[in-house]
Each structure stands twice: as structure tokens, then as C-alpha cells.
Structure 1
Amino acid sequence: MTQTLKRRLAALELATDGVLTPLSGGDSGAGLWRVDGTTPCIVKQDSPQRVAGEADGLRALGDVCRDLIVPAVLAEDGDLLVMEALDGTGPRDAAALGAGLRQMHRDSREAGAEHGWPRDNACGLTPQPNASLADGRVFQRERRLLPLVRLCREQGLLDAALAERIERLAESLESWLPDVSPSLVHGDLWSGNVLFTPTGPAIIDPAIYRHYPEVDVAMLTLFGGPGDAFFEAYWNGERPADWERREALFQLYPLLNHLYLFGPGYLGSVSRVVDRVLAG
């Protein structure tokens, strides 16, 4: 594999002098290598559809991010994605992450834009449908919650009672969640997809679309928390009064995805966030 990969990189005029080091591909199961040479880079091998989706996401984020670093796409060739390698050994700067994410969400907000994205992509191993809808509440229901409920039911991971509660929650969104102009969101912004480089925070492995910006903030708090300095910089005095309810809502989709991918260990977490949303 190494020699084949080196030949492909040479054909792309990239990394011909580099040493290839295998890396963990994470939950996606993709092949992943670091190449240390004249131009250090990360090489990912995955399905052509997933490669195209990730490359599209990196380019879109790179176009709008001024204060967050996004790895440049160096080459895209079928099932191969070559990206700029980033140094993740910088100091943790939660305030810079909060300010950078705020800038990204603010500057990408478009009045009259629809929620979604021109192409489907993936969140982890799960296909992510992004066909656009004008109303964000409808998008959250029809493109995020209900498809995952159906997938989990088909796998026997959700009982009828909990599925019915989620469906009821999804149908109630118009009663409390305001419709807003969408922002570009990273879409899978857990802590493992944030790097702190010597020149500032960076974001990697996107699953982008346009939607409520709280999607990214809720994902950052799902398996821990980015800290008070992050929130002070991100909210900048504009924290929504119903943030706790929105946080629970926007954690439901990734938790359903984890339930679908990794099994019943996530069932309790799904039930708890449903309780939080329905309690208001």
C-alpha cells in the first residue's frame, strides 16, 4: 500500500520526498497517513463521495474563516484527499476559539438563504442529507431528527415509546424555536475536531451545511465543555435566553447518530436530552 500511495502522490506532484506514517482513521474507518517532507501533509483514503464531501467542506470553511485555521486542500483525486498538515502542539486558547467561531457564524449568515447545502455529505459513517429547506425547524425535523429515528428503529435501537416522544418533539419545534437566517456550520465540531496550533485554533473533519449556529456550540459541549472563556468570547453578551433547551435539541441529532453507529450505550443520553427539550 505504501508504494502504491507514494506513486499516486508522485503523480499529483506531492510528497514525493516524504516519509509516510500511518495514523488512526478514527470512527470513519478511512485510511490516514501523515507525510513529513518538504510539504508536510495529511493523506486520507475514503470513498470518492466522502472525499468530495470533506474537500467541499474544507474549502467552504476556508472561504469564510478569518480567525480560525482550516487545513488547505492540496489535492483531491477520487478516493484520495491530500490536506495541509497542521501542528497541534500550540497553547489551548478557548477565547480565540470562541471568537473565531462567532466570526465564522456571523459572517456566513445570509438573509433569505435556505437551511441545508447543495450536496449531501456524511457525519461520521452516517450519510447526511442536506437538501435545502426554507424553514430551519422543518430542516431539523425532516433532514436530521426523523431520518435518524427511522434508522435507529430499523436496527432495533429505539423502542416505540421513545421514538414517539422524539417525533412529538420534532413536530413541536415551530411552537418555541424561532426561524432564523442560517449560518455555515462545521456540523461535527466535537473537541477532537479542534486543534490548537502555535498560531491559533484550527478546525478539521467538517460535515458542513447551513443551519442554526448553536449546532456547533452544542456539539462542543456534548462530551465535555470548552470552558468559560470560550462562552464569553462566543456569546459576547448575546446568549439566547433558552440556550439550555437549544443545547439539548442540537445534541439530539449527534446522540441519535452515536446510538445508530455505536449501539445502546447512548440510549440513556438520548432519553435525557429528549426530557430536557420537552420540559422547556
Structure 2
Amino acid sequence: MTQTLKRRLAALEFGDGELVALSGGDSGAGLWRLEGSPAYVVKVDDPQRIAGEADGLRALKDACHHLVVPDVLAEEGDLLIMTALASGGPRDAAALGEGLRQLHRDTRDASAEHGWPRDNACGLTPQPNTPLADGRAFQRERRVMPLTTLCRDSGLLETRLAERLERVAHGLEGWLPDTPSSLVHGDLWSGNVLFTPSGPAIIDPAVYRHYPEVDVAMLTLFGNPGDAFFDAYWDGRSPDDWPRREALFQLYPLLNHLYLFGRSYLAGVERAVAVVEAG
């Protein structure tokens, strides 16, 4: 594999430096750092996921002027080559919060539908993005219900909990306002945030347009970005119903983890449903 990859890289004129294996995360992708000056990151994965990631990186690069985003240097079938980001920058949570706030604010558009022109993937799970004008309908039809169906059909959700999820999904118009969509990273857990000498960076996107709280809820799902992040992101104007919104937007990644990794995530789904139901 490595020798074949080196030949492909040489044919694309990316030099003959040493390939150092990196962790590919949970998607099963092959990931390497190609040493040299400059260095590159090389990913080998399913061509559809590669195309979706490259598309997302380009969209974020065009829109995001306050966070670092890797450049896409080459995309060829199952191969993606990106700029390598330096590590060792300060863990500046305030800069991350401000950068994310600027991204969501600058891409907020009342005329843009919720969704994206192409489907992509969240980890190994295909992510449907066919646009809808109403964000509540998008959250129901493209996020909560497809994963509820996958988990139920896989025997991971009992009927009662699946019915509660359906009621939550069909009750969004009763409390969640229909607001303009923003460009979101789509999979912004802490492992997809890097702190570089040039500032916070975001990688491995699964972009679409939707409620901006999607990204904030993902950051808090498996960690806590800290008070400095929230002070910068909310800028003193956090929504009064944030705990309910946080739980709602965590349902999709929790259901995805339940589907991919099993019943250890079932309790998290149940807790999030209960918070949304409680209002």
C-alpha cells in the first residue's frame, strides 16, 4: 500500500518524502503525513467521502476568515492531499469561539435553504443534505428521522424510545423558531479542532447549512470548550432555551454513534430526548 501510494504521489509531483502513518479516526480512512518542506497530509478513503470532505474544506476555506482551514491541494478518486498544519499553538478557546461566531454570522443567509447541494458523510454514515426551506423540517427529515429508522431497523432502539424520538422530531414547529441558515462544519467534535501557531484550525468537515448551534452542540457532546469559548461565541447573547437546543442538536450525532458503535450510546440518546421533552 505505502509503495503504491508513494508512486501515486510522485506522479502528482508531490515529492518523495517519507510517509508517516497517522491515526485515521473512526472512518477507517488511511491517513499519512508526507514529510518535506512543505509537508502534506494524505488521506485515502471511499471516493464519495473524499469528494465530500474536499468540497467541505473548500467551502470553509472560502467562508472562514478567522479560523485556519487546510488547503485542498489535490483530489483524485480515493486520494486527498492537503496542507499539513503545524501543532503546538496555544489552546485559545476565546479565539475558537470568536472564529466560529464569525463563520456562522458571516454565512447567515435568510434566502438560503437548509442543507447542501450534495450529500456527504458523518464518519462512515452517509449524510443526506437535500435542501429544505424550513430548518425544522430539515432537522426532522434529514437528521433525526433517518438515524432513528437506521437504529430501530438495526435492533438498537426499542419501539417506545423510537416513538419518543418521532414525537420530538414532529414537535419542532411547536418551539424551535425557523431561522436563517448558516454554513456549519457539521462534525465539530474536539478531535476536529487543532490549535496551531496561526490560531485554531478546523478539519474533517461534513458541511451543510443549518442552525449554527449544530456546531456548538457537537463541541459540548464529548467535552467542554470552556467559559472563554462561550463568552466569545455568544457575545453575551446566548439563547434562553440553549439546554433544549443543545440536546436536540446532539440527538443526531448520538444516534449516529449508537448506529456505528452500539448500545453504549443508548443512555445518551435517552437523556437528550428527555431534555427536549421537558422543554
Short-chain TM bin:
over 0.9
Residue 237 of structure 1, CA deviation: 1.4
- Whichever residue aligns with residue 69 of structure 2, its letter is V
Partner of 2:79: 80
**CA–CA separation in structure 2 for the residues paired with 1:114 and 1:126:** 23
1:116 aligned residue: 115
Equivalent AA in structure 1 for residue 124 of structure 2 = L
Q: Say whether the 8 Å CA contact 2:89–2:199 is kept in structure 1.
A: yes
Equivalent residue, structure 2, for 1:230: 229
Please name the residue that 1:205 is paired with.
204
SS at match of 1:51: helix
- After superposition, the CA RMSD in angstroms is 0.6
Q: CA deviation at 1:88?
A: 2.2
For 1:123 and 1:231, the matched residues in 2 are separated by 25
Q: Measure, in 1, the Cα distance between the counterparts of 2:271 and 2:240.
A: 21
Question: Deviations 1:109-132 (Å, cap 9, x if unpaired)?
Answer: 112110000000000100000000
Aligned residue pairs: how many?
279
Question: Does the Cα contact within 8 Å between 2:29 and 2:45 map onto a contact in 1?
Answer: yes
Q: Equivalents in 2 of 1:273, 1:30: separation in Å?
A: 30
Most deviating of 86-95 and 207-216:
86-95
1:136 Cα deviation (Å)?
Answer: 0.2
- For residues 164 and 205 of structure 1, the distance between their equivalents in structure 2, rounded to whole angstroms, comes to 33
Query: What is the alpha-carbon distance in structure 2 between the residues aligned to residue 2 and residue 172 of structure 1?
Result: 51
> Shift of residue 47 of structure 1?
1.0
2:218 maps to amino acid: M
Contact 1:18 1:38 in 2 (8 A): no
- SS of the aligned residue for 2:89 comes to coil
Rounded to whole Å, the distance in 2 between the matches of 1:55 and 1:240 is: 33
| Corresponding residue for residue 2 of structure 1 | 2
> Following TM superposition, where does structure 1 have runs of at least 4 consecutive aligned residues deviating by more than 2 angstroms?
none
Task: Measure how far apart 1:61 and its partner are.
Answer: 0.2
Instruction: State how far apart, in whole Å, the 2-side matches of 1:124 and 1:48 are.
Output: 14
Instruction: Judge conservation of contact 2:188–2:205 (CA < 8 Å) in 1.
Output: yes
Q: Is the 8 A contact 2:6 2:16 kept in 1?
A: no
CA distance in structure 1 between the aligned counterparts of 2:54 and 2:90, rounded to whole angstroms: 27
Q: Is the 8 A contact 1:17 1:38 kept in 2?
A: no
Aligned 1:1-280 pairs, distance under 5 A? 1-14=1-14, 16-280=15-279
Cα distance in 1, alignment partners of residues 25 and 216 from structure 2: 22
Task: Quote the offset at 1:38 in angstroms.
Answer: 2.2
Alpha-carbon distance between aligned partners in 2 of 1:199 and 1:224, rounded to the nearest angstrom: 23
Q: C-alpha offsets along residues 14-61 of structure 1, whole Å, 9 cap, x if unaligned?
A: 1x1311001111100001101111220110001111100000000000
Once the 2 structures are TM-superposed, how far is the Cα of residue 11 of structure 1 from its aligned partner?
Answer: 1.3
Q: For residue 203 of structure 1, report the CA deviation from its aligned partner.
A: 0.1
What is the alpha-carbon distance in structure 2 between the residues aligned to residue 18 and residue 134 of structure 1?
Answer: 48
User: Offset of 1:272 from its aligned partner?
Assistant: 0.4
- Mapped to 1, the partners of 2:68 and 2:62 lie a distance apart of 11
Letter matched to residue 10 of structure 2: A
Q: Tell me the CA shift for residue 6 of structure 1.
A: 1.0
Aligned residue for 2:57, secondary structure, equals: helix
Structure 1: gaps spanning 5 or more residues: none
Give the Cα–Cα distance (whole angstroms) in 1 for the partners of residues 94 and 23 of structure 2. Answer: 29
Separation in 1 of the partners of 2:201 and 2:37? 22
Q: Unaligned regions of 5+ residues in structure 2, if any?
A: none
Find the aligned partners of 1:165 and 1:2 in 2 and give their Cα distance: 48
Following the alignment from structure 1 to structure 2, what is the Cα–Cα distance between the partners of residues 230 and 156?
38
| TM-score (norm: length of structure 2) | 0.99
C-alpha distance in structure 1 between counterparts of 2:37 and 2:27, whole Å = 28
In 2, Cα distance between equivalents of 1:94 and 1:259: 29
Give the letter for the 2:261 counterpart. Answer: F
* TM value normalised by structure 1: 0.99
* Structure 2 counterpart SS, 1:43: strand
CA distance in structure 2 between the partners assigned to 1:48 and 1:224 by the alignment: 31
| CA displacement, residues 174-193 of structure 1 (integer Å, 9 cap, x when unaligned) | 00000011000000000000
Deviation of 1:149 after TM superposition, in Å, equals 0.5
**Identity within the alignment, %:** 75
Tell me, what secondary structure is at the counterpart of 2:80?
strand
Structure 1 residue 7: deviation in Å? 1.1
Matched residue SS, 1:210 = strand
Structure 1 counterpart of 2:270, which letter?
S
